[in-house]
């Protein structure tokens, strides 16, 4: 079993590498937080509620010797709705196309049926090397971590998966995050950079803005509406008649829920919750775009959208 911890060895000079890695794991295994820590900026939305990532968000790690493009997929799970099935299809398609797969398993939770379900799927993918990433190591002591490392090694042996590495990390405490990048890079093919220096993601801005609004809208109502919220940015236009040194971007977005009864939860007493969502997401959007924003939010009902193919398409799934 090869478990890696930080060392001061200097890598030898070698050709430039560039390629795609994806993090897989059951919902809430720390995939998005890890993507953000590696890229050094918020590109994937994070939340305590499983199933928040719906789009394939790519984070790009630039190094002089390599470019590592991270594809963050939704968590693979046993689907109960059409949306769930579509999310699983996205995951499998992604796995087949990447150069290396990182399987995220939280240090503070024993390996369960959800992890085995994913590991069995991974065992069937022969081409891509697989790295086991033990996330959230800041939440356990060294003994519990050692037990988890042994359990993961054992899981690989049981299912015939040969882990290229087993790496313990903590994205929130920034422990061994750089080491993880150091270990993923040699598994990428040699080749020139695939994205311009300075790019952090190739997500269209509108998708990222919609995700930031959805993240703010989920805060505080996760128990009541975990998956019932979708956000669509209808338009983004620079405000006319503004002086060049005082631009303003008008963003009009709709927050969709599934039932009229959910409207009050999102809007809150006297509209307070929706106002808070607007203030919080506007700050994040301004930080992302680097320009002042006027955000116009409306809450709409799209009845049972998670089960309706036509509505799923309209909402971008």
Q: Does 174 appear as a known binding residue?
A: no
Q: Does 238 appear as a known binding residue?
A: no
Q: Does 32 appear as a known binding residue?
A: yes
| Cα angle 199-102-47, degrees, rounded to a multiple of 5 | 70
Q: Does 135 appear as a known binding residue?
A: yes
Q: Does 93 appear as a known binding residue?
A: no
Crossing angle, helix 113-123 and helix 82-97, to 10 degrees?
40
DSSP codes of every residue in 271-308: GHHHHHHHHHHHHHHHHHHTS-EEEEEEEEE-TTGGG-
Angstrom distance (rounded) from CA 233 to CA 151 = 44
Tokens of 25: 């794991």
Q: How many CB atoms lie within 10 A of CB 185?
A: 21
Q: Does 191 appear as a known binding residue?
A: no
User: Computed from CA positions of residues 295, 301, 307, 313, in that sequence, does the dihedral angle turn out positive or negative?
Assistant: negative
Q: Does 38 appear as a known binding residue?
A: no
Q: Does 73 appear as a known binding residue?
A: yes
CB proximity list for 235: less than 8 A, separation 6 or greater = 250, 251, 252
Q: Does 76 appear as a known binding residue?
A: yes
Phi and psi (nearest 5°) for 275? -65, -45
Q: Does 136 appear as a known binding residue?
A: yes
Tokens of 50: 């499983």
Q: Does 138 appear as a known binding residue?
A: yes
Annotated binding site for GTP: 25-32, 72-76, 135-138
Annotated binding site: 25-32, 72-76, 135-138
């Amino acid at each position: 079993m090869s478990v890696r911890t930080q060392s001061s060895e200097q890598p030898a000079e070698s050709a430039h590498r560039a390629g795609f890695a994806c993090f897989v794991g059951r919902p809430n295994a720390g995939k998005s937080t890890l993507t953000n820590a590696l890229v050094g900026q918020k590109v994937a939305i994070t939340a305590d509620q499983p199933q928040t990532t719906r789009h394939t968000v790519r984070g790009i790690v630039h190094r002089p010797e390599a470019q590592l493009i991270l594809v963050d997929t939704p968590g693979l799970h046993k689907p109960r709705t059409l949306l769930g099935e579509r999310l699983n299809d996205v995951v499998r398609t992604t796995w087949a196309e990447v150069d290396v797969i990182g399987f995220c398993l939280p240090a503070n939770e024993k390996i369960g049926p959800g992890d085995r379900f994913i590991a069995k799927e991974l065992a069937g993918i022969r081409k891509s090397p697989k790295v086991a990433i033990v996330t959230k190591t800041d939440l356990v002591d060294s003994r519990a971590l050692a037990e988890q490392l042994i359990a993961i090694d054992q899981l690989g042996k049981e299912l015939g998966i040969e882990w290229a590495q087993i790496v313990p990390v903590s994205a929130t405490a920034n422990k061994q995050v750089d080491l993880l990048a150091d270990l993923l890079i040699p598994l990428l093919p040699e080749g020139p950079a695939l994205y311009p220096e300075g790019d952090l993601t190739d997500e269209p801005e509108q998708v990222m803005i919609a995700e930031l609004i959805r993240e703010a809208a989920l805060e505080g109502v996760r128990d009541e509406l975990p998956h019932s919220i979708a956000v669509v940015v209808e338009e983004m236009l620079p405000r006319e008649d503004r002086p060049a040194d005082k631009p303003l971007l008008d963003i009009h977005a709709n927050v969709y829920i599934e039932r009229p009864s959910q409207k009050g939860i999102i809007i809150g007493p006297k509209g307070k919750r929706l106002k808070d969502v607007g203030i919080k997401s506007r700050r994040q959007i301004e930080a992302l775009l680097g320009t002042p924003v006027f955000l116009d939010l409306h809450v709409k009902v799209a009845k049972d959208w998670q089960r309706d193919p036509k509505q799923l398409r309209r909402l971008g799934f």
